[in-house]
Each structure stands twice: as structure tokens, then as C-alpha cells.
Amino acid sequence: MSPFISGKDLEDRLKSRLKEMGCLIESKEKYDHEFKLDFMAYRLAGFEKPLPISVGVQVTADTDDLDKQREFLEVQRRLRPVQKSIYLALDSQLDVEGGGEYAVFVALGACIFDRSNRDKRVIGVRIYRDFSFEMFDIEDNLKGAKSFRIESDGQQIWLEGRINYYKRLERFGFIGWDGAPDFWFSREHVEDPDLLNILDNPDLYVSGTPIVFQNAGITRDGEKRPTAIRIRLNKP
């Protein structure tokens, strides 16, 4: 497994692997500073012809950095440097040299060629450490990540967020909110039967589910993420 990756190291290693695979990509200082794009993609591996549209990609290991998402969205809307702007958020434990690069390759292809994404000029995609990936709407993500506090339940503070990812077999997942870092949670920390039904039903999509929860702090040795407890659906 590759060591912890972040920032410039992550970007350079990913670009190197994509080039080795046969992708034609280019990075310039102007792309980064003016357009918030780490590289331009001109051709994907296995394709003889260039991509049908201009594609720019920003790479980050800060999957829940809302300020960065907000800045990226604003720049793409204001300057419109390319026809398709992709915000690529990689799990910090993704093995870039051991399969993660192929997950990125497939995700980029889906962003560009999938019919459901054809009309989305700015799109976000998360790549998880198990090589799965999901698309997300950056604007909706920003709207749904606001936190709030209410003083109740013995003065305990409630936070608002969304489920970013849940592994049904392992019965744990991660929660994003308007802050950092994200929260870890286990199924046993969920006290809402309706939410438990969502988590347990393989036919239902979990990522993006709005919830409220409380912060239990760091509860596991060696873990940087705090634990979310008393998790409930955020019902209107």
C-alpha cells in the first residue's frame, strides 16, 4: 500500500501514472494559478483520437474542503477555461500505484462520456480507497453541508451533515459537514430506524443522505477522525 498522499505529491504521482498508462495530459503553472486546474486531459489511454471536448482537472486529497470546492466552482463559472471541469477528490489512503490510477481513469471517462454527465460543465467525483467512485454536484454539496447548533438534550450540540460513504459489509462509514475533518461512524451509532433501513437496504443509495449527529471526539486509537454518535435523518 502506498504511504499517505496529499497535495503536490498526490498530484504528481497521479499524473505520472496516467501518462504511463497512455493518457495525454499537460500541466502548466497558468492552469493552476489562474484556472485552479492541475492538468488538462487531451486523450485517454486506449483512444487514438483526442477527447471531443476540452477537459481540465483539479486533484485534491481534502475530500471535504468546502472552501476549495467553492473557489473551484466560482472560477470555472466566471472564467469558463474549458468545456468540462472535473473536481477530483481522492481518498488520502488511495493506492495510486496499485489500482487507484485505473479507478481515476474509469471515473474520468464516466465524467466525459456518460450520457447522464454530458451536460454537466462542472462536476465533482470522489475516488475511495476501495477503488469505487461516485459523482457529485458541487453546488448541491455546498448547499447541503451547512452546520447548525441547537441547545437541547442536556445542552449537547447537534451538527448537520451528510453521509459521504458507507460500507454495508463492514457497517461503518464517513460523514461530511461544514468543517474538517470528516466524521467516522458505525451502524451502532445510528438511533433512527428510518436511517437504519436506508443503511441496510442494498437497493438504496446512501451517499448524500442528510443527517444530524453529535460529536463524541476521538474514540479509537490512532484515528484522526472524530466519531459521530446519535445519528438521525435530518427531516424537514
CATH number at residue 217: 2.40.50.140
Q: Which tens digit of pLDDT belongs to each residue from 29-75?
A: 889 999 999 999 999 999 989 999 999 999 998 877 888 998 999 99
Half-sphere exposure in the Cβ direction for 11 (13 Å, CA): 18
218: confidence class by pLDDT, cuts 50, 70, 90: confident
Going by pLDDT thresholds of 50, 70 and 90, the confidence category of residue 20 is: very high
- Kindly state whether residue 1 falls inside one of the protein's structural domains: no
Tell me which residue range forms the domain holding 167: 151-233
Residue 164 resides in a domain = yes
Q: What is the mean pLDDT of residues 9-17?
A: 90
CA–CA gap between residue 66 and residue 75 (Å, rounded): 14
> What percentage of the chain carries pLDDT values higher than 90?
58
208 and 111 part of one domain:
no
- Which has the closest alpha carbon to 59: 30, 24, 98, 92? 92
Nearest-5° Cα angle at 195, 209 to 135: 25
Domain boundary among 112, 143, 174: 143
pTM of this prediction? 0.61
Q: What is the pLDDT of residue 48?
A: 87
Q: How many domains does the chain have?
A: 2
One domain for residues 137 and 158:
no
Residue 141, pLDDT score: 76
Q: Over the stretch 74-86, which tens digit does the pLDDT of each residue have?
A: 999 899 999 999 9
